A = this chain, B = another copy of it.
Amino acid sequence: MHLTQGLHRAVQTRGRETATIFGDRRRTWSELRDRVARLAAALVARGLKPGDRVGVISLNSDRFVEAYFATWWAGGVIMPSNTRWAVPEHNYALADSGTTILLLDRNFAKLLPELAAANEFRAVILLDDGEAPPGTESVDAIIASSQPMPDTCGNGNELAGLFYTGGTTGRSKGVMLSHDSLISNFLCASGMLPYSSEPIFLHSPPMFHLADAAAVIGVTMRAGQHVVIPFFSPENVVKAIERHRCTDAVFVPTMFAMLRDYLAAHPADLTSMRHIRYGASPISETLLRDAMAMFPNAEFAQAYGQTELSPAATALEWRFHKERNGKSYLRSAGRAIFGIDVRIVDEEMRECPTGTVGEIAVRSPGNMLGYWNQPELTERTIVDGWVRTGDAGYMDEEGFVYLVDRVKDMIVSGGENVYSAEVENALASHPAVAECAVIGVPDDKWGERVHAIVRLKADARASETELIDHCKRAIAGYKCPRSVELRAEPLPLSGAGKILKTDLRAPYWVGHSRRVN
């Protein structure tokens, strides 16, 4: 299987229908294929050989979709950079991956002198409108001056993408994903994380992240429409849904929280939405119920996974978003998707009994090939075909997985393990709380102390004592925050929309050493 297969099928079945919408620009599937085949030819003319890496530093756009498919059409490997990175982080990934051709949009063109000083590019292409700055070529100009090349259509087990991950913990690693991994994960997921028949899909999370890149692949395989906005903002999202009557989208939980705040002041018609998938970080029940109310016609499905898995491993289907036999499943990340083995294991990779917390391990056709240039880390991560996710969780007797935390993020307070997701869930159910994060901070008596950082909703009020008392009504006393910090500004987010606990934790740990699991 090859990732351009979906593009060919889309032309065969819906060639004259809209493929991409960006601002006022629409392109059909036939037009998209033509541009992809020309851009691929241009990449090859600039020295791209099969397996060479093509870097992209860009906000979302229809041209980002073209960059994915043109790279694959030409036989290359895409390396989409995190747009939040500082220059040294960009240079690390560019050098580590050995990127030889770089595509970047106008927002990042100003970084070019520093990037070009540290790397040798065969070509730098402006993935944007208008005149190309010095040292770059305009993508539209090179598409116009190239003839379409035939699809290289290589073997499915070849490398398709290097996705650098690890923004919230540790050093960034290049996750190697093949064509087969990415396609099979779409196929495995499609029974439990359904799209509409012909989705009008809103891309608002960053396309460099696999949560959205998976939809670049999936919506193409379904010959749907890609509605692309440059970046997530509540206003961008609401306007795009209303204008294009979008039917499908993927969101991360913090986006629901921001949409909730925005919609309170700006009511909107979001009834066109039919399928919403969400994931990438834990969600509180309160926020999930609010999100379902915001999109009254949408079926929600939660995906749990990670880049190393291409990315989905489990899914909480829509039918489990309602109570069944008096049981709520909303705290669960769902069950293994079809074709994928999920287990809870101890440190020796032995399966844990039902209900016991351990590390989540996954064996899937979507498993990564490994970490680029890191054979030892790869060997520690993929054991007998199982990817160790680094996430802690347990499984109930129906195979539902409950995430408790990143193994590394678990708080050990007075010898008791405290999983911050559980505490955050309790805090988030307080009506005044807009967002929160729970971390471990050094404590002479307890080793680590459970500490909460909370932003209240506009005009809402709640005292530290009131918030702690609220938690005590929901969870055991030893799990409750012993201190609460109220903040006015939003909590810091990674490029993928996850709260950056590393940043929140850092000031408390200056001068202390923290155990690492």
Contact = CB atoms under 8 A, between A and B. Distances in A.
A339 interface: yes
Interface in A384-437: 395, 397-399
A194 B335 CA distance: 19
Contact of A335 (B8, B13, B186): B13
Interface in A197-224: 197, 221-222
Given A13-B399, A335-B13, A398-B14, A341 B190 contact: no
Contacts of A338: 6, 9, 186-187, 190, 221-222
Interface in A1-18: 1, 5-6, 8-9, 12-15
A215 B64 CA distance: 40
Given A1-B365, A365-B1, A341 B9 contact: yes
Contacts of A13: 335-336, 398-399
Nearest to A12: B399
Nearest to A365: B1
A403 B122 CA distance: 50
Contact of A339 (B1, B195, B319, B335): B1
Integer count of this chain's copies in the complex? 2
Determine which residue in A8, A9, A188 has the highest number of CB atoms from chain B within 10 A of its CB, and name it: A9
Interface residues of A, number: 35
Contact of A190 (B156, B183, B190, B397): B190
Q: Is the interface of A mostly helix, strand, loop or mixed?
A: mixed
Interface in A344-395: 365, 395
A249 to B, nearest CB: 18
A184 interface: yes
Contacts of A335: 12-13
Contacts of A186: 338
Given A191-B191, A365-B1, A339 B14 contact: no
A334 to B, nearest CB: 10
Nearest to A354: B12
A128 interface: no
A52 interface: no
A299 interface: no
B1 A197 contact: no
A317 interface: yes
B221 A339 contact: yes
A348 to B, nearest CB: 18
Contacts of A365: 1, 156
A5 B385 CA distance: 14
A459 to B, nearest CB: 43
A300 B175 CA distance: 41
Contacts of A397: 15
B317 A197 contact: yes
A222 B191 contact: yes
A186 B337 CA distance: 13
B191 A339 contact: no
A201 B156 CA distance: 33
Contacts of A195: 191
Contacts of A187: 184, 187-188, 190-191, 338-339
A183 B339 contact: yes
Interface in A438-455: none
Determine which residue in A8, A187, A365, A398 has the highest number of CB atoms from chain B within 10 A of its CB, and name it: A187
A16 to B, nearest CB: 8
Determine which residue in A195, A222, A398 has the highest number of CB atoms from chain B within 10 A of its CB, and name it: A398
Contact of A336 (B12, B183, B191, B339): B12
B319 A197 contact: yes
Contact of A184 (B184, B222, B336): B184
Contact of A5 (B317, B339, B399): B339
A7 B361 CA distance: 18
A341 B398 contact: no
A300 to B, nearest CB: 15
9 contacts: A6-B338, A9-B336, A12-B335, A12-B399, A156-B365, A186-B338, A187-B188, A190-B190, A191-B195
Given A186-B338, A187-B188, A221-B338, 7 more contacts: A1-B339, A12-B342, A187-B191, A187-B338, A190-B338, A191-B195, A191-B222
